A and B are shown apart, each in its own frame.
Chain A
């Protein structure tokens, strides 16, 4: 340990002011504080500080994503072997999955890290840990067949336009990972929707459960349509279905959610709001089901929870504390409306079978407005209380 500390210290000389590498000090600082916590002391009161820092917060979000990554790697390989009709063995699944997922992840981190470092150097601030989360999120919301250059383009767009031009982590209006995906989704629709992109084998086409229902039209039974296509509640829950890398296993999302809630890193209000909004809206549609109505209406509400990217989006994307609401009532509204919007887009919009990404981005845009209303109500309450006291005195 002391050896490493000494090495880092001697390395630091090259980055100090006046040295040729001084510009790249943020890179050294990031490396240095990666190994050892910064040794700074409190300059004024409060003289004591909590042990929690943003590095730890971001690390914990990354840890919460690991189950999804593991399930995603396994399932990507599993789908490949299934499509090829080969024996399904655990190690073969993992191996195939890693072949597909690892390159995407490396490219996402390389592109994200490049922009983060560039902006830190040019704008002379420290490298923020936010890109560790963004890079992994970006990987997990890509279809396994995505070309790597598109990953690089998408992450670059998301990091630069979605985050850095606003001032970096903490100042962004939209979730940068979703900005990446929306950019790719609308720029290269053939690569991000349809039946051919979800299994990483050439020429294999499999519709996602949402696409199956979207195509089912009027009349008919949603559950039986899904069963015919080979989808059951349980394989959608465990994640043995085609889809984006990280979104398929709802069980993994659940593990991540438990971790985020136990450690208190994510807001339970947003997650609860999302779930409730989704269930209430889909229950309402379920009551209206019938031979005339869309087949989608007849889907039992709890099936909505395990379909598409809802679980992943609600747990890891809607809960982004920067781009969602900052007041507690606002968080409830934010969650409820996100959940409701997801169902509405899924059921009523024939162009996009999946609505999670759009719903969250849309609500990101509305978060400041929701907060504004909550703050306005707070101010009214405050002044009413003050008047009571002033009235007593007068």
Chain B
């Protein structure tokens, strides 16, 4: 295994990581598919409330390319089509009947994979709705089935706070994972990179054949997709790469070999506020209440995803399509007397302006909450950012180019290689409480729009 060492960045060690045990959860009573998860698709529903659906029945389709569809992870009846602001589609919910009847699709044996053309494999993935598992860079949107990437990256390592150990998630699914890699290899003329932790022990990763297995050592964001791509095969203008989560690789193999859409999803239940912390085996689109059963303490924020890049789903919300973790984070916002001058022996900070910074106690987890700890100001300390980005970009100048609307300059500064989550640590560290990632996302959205015109 090649190892790439990341020096920039920082691990934030929170209390409440998931215990290494997998718990098979009962089927939830409802599941939801949320269009907001599928960045880059313009979706419209193809079912109406009351329709009965099977696992793999299409619920939504992409207006611009009707072959791309989002399918139901459960069998049952469509409970409702929810609309949010300006009547935008916010969710399609399905009432589960508990049978998990699945649509069946044509299947092929593992040995036959290499006889099938890439186009026919893509066709099968589209029909059965596993296609959205593949996303592309630049712009982090659902892959375009009409193009082939110069490389495919498999994410088998995450470094967000409390993130699941994907090595552990893959345990017991080695064969499927390897078969999935065989399929992916057919889809690109270039490399398939499996990006993992340097400590990865599972046979799934150790014994992967015909792909480049690369370990990413170092602190967060060593486990971000952008970091993998930047160090292995960066994207410039006109380039295209795809990426996919390790568990979704198994899903692709399940479909091609078994002819069924298997909605299985392992989710790490984490966070200081979670009464029980474990790896829950459930299905896509499960409600958060399903993962936090029983009475819940008050004063928590329920996040689908990690504290750095997740979505505030709420206890009544649903896990987002790509998320493999849910976090219960204590709510903050306690007002502290003369906070600007207190020595702060118990405050967490990347800076050295608190007593807690001396000596650096790297090992002990620190409890953090949703408090902002300050007011919004103009950026005064621009040099703070670059220490926490694992890409070769000048963050402050990139932000400046985007806010000034100078997209040419932003492009030259490497905006195409970036994603919102790569700057989460910058937003965390910023003394002016400036949301760097959000500006980067605005820049990417604008660039994409201008590219289309």
Contact = CB atoms under 8 A, between A and B. Distances in A.
Interface of A: 1, 4-5, 29, 33-42, 44-57, 59-60, 126, 128, 130, 167-171, 262-265, 267, 321-322, 326-328, 331, 371, 375, 378-379, 381-383, 385-386, 389-390, 393
Given A49-B433, A53-B433, A126-B377, 17 more contacts: A37-B373, A37-B374, A38-B375, A39-B333, A44-B438, A46-B424, A47-B307, A48-B161, A49-B427, A52-B354, A53-B431, A56-B340, A126-B375, A170-B377, A170-B378, A326-B397, A327-B397
Nearest to A33: B375
Nearest to B327: A47
Contacts of A390: 236, 239
B81 interface: no
B333 A55 contact: no
A169 B150 contact: no
18 contacts: A36-B336, A37-B374, A38-B335, A41-B331, A42-B371, A44-B435, A45-B303, A45-B310, A46-B437, A47-B312, A49-B427, A52-B354, A56-B341, A56-B353, A56-B431, A128-B377, A128-B378, A393-B190
Nearest to B306: A45
A47 to B, nearest CB: 5
Contacts, number: 210
Which of A41, A130, A326, A327 has the most chain B CB within a 10 Å cutoff?
A326
Nearest to A62: B341
A386 B234 contact: yes
A128 B424 CA distance: 25
Interface stretch (B38-46, B62-70, B135-143, B342-350): B342-350
A382 B414 contact: yes
Contacts of B353: 52, 56-57, 60, 263-265
Contacts of B369: 48
B338 A321 contact: no
A382 B339 CA distance: 42
Contacts of B427: 46, 49
Contact of B371 (A41, A126, A328): A41
A389 B417 CA distance: 14
A37 B339 CA distance: 6
Contact of A49 (B338, B351, B373, B382): B373
Nearest to B350: A50
Contact of B12 (A29, A48, A265): A48
A321 B331 contact: no
Given A41-B332, A169-B380, A393-B150, A51 B347 contact: yes
Interface residues of B, number: 75
A263 B333 contact: no
B62 to A, nearest CB: 26
**Interface hub of A37, A389, A393 (most chain B Cβ within 10 A):** A37
A56 B344 CA distance: 11
A33 B432 CA distance: 15
A57 B380 contact: yes
A46 B438 CA distance: 10
A167 B372 CA distance: 24
Contacts of B351: 50, 52, 263-264
A328 B383 contact: yes
A39 B308 CA distance: 20
Nearest to A59: B340
Given A47-B301, A60-B353, A128-B377, A41 B308 contact: no
Interface string B432-453: 1101011000000000000000
B363 interface: no
A262 B424 contact: no
Task: Select the residue from A47, A126, A262, A264 with max chain B CB neighbours within 10 A.
Answer: A47
A173 to B, nearest CB: 13
Contacts of A41: 331-333, 370-372
Contact of B374 (A38, A170, A267, A331): A38
Nearest to A264: B352
B408 to A, nearest CB: 11
Nearest to B401: A375
Q: Chain B's interface: helix, strand, loop or mixed, by majority?
A: loop
Nearest to A328: B383
Given A375-B413, A389-B233, A45 B308 contact: yes
B139 to A, nearest CB: 17
Contacts of B340: 34, 37, 53, 55-56, 59
A284 to B, nearest CB: 30
A168 B378 CA distance: 8
B276 to A, nearest CB: 21
A29 B374 CA distance: 12
A50 to B, nearest CB: 5
A39 B312 CA distance: 19
Contact of A36 (B309, B310, B337): B337
Interface in B54-107: none
Contacts of B392: 381-382, 385
Nearest to A63: B341
Contacts of A328: 383
A267 B349 CA distance: 18
Contacts of A386: 234, 236
A34 B369 CA distance: 22
B368 interface: yes
A33 B436 CA distance: 24
Contacts of B433: 49, 53
Contact of B310 (A1, A47, A55): A47
B11 to A, nearest CB: 13
Interface string B369-410: 111111111111111000000001010110000000000000
Contacts of A263: 351-353
A360 B20 CA distance: 58
A375 B412 CA distance: 10
Contacts of B334: 39
Interface string B206-235: 000000000000000000000000000110
Nearest to A57: B431
B379 to A, nearest CB: 6
A34 B413 CA distance: 39
Contacts of B161: 48
B383 A48 contact: no
A44 B312 contact: yes
Contacts of B236: 383, 386, 389-390
B397 A50 contact: no
A265 B431 CA distance: 11
Nearest to B371: A41
Given A46-B308, A46-B309, A321-B382, A54 B432 contact: yes
Nearest to A29: B375
Contact of B372 (A36, A42, A55, A378): A42
A378 B394 contact: yes
Interface string B419-431: 0010011011111
Nearest to B397: A375
A352 B344 CA distance: 46
Given A41-B370, A55-B374, A48 B307 contact: yes
A13 B421 CA distance: 39
B52 interface: no
A390 B151 CA distance: 12
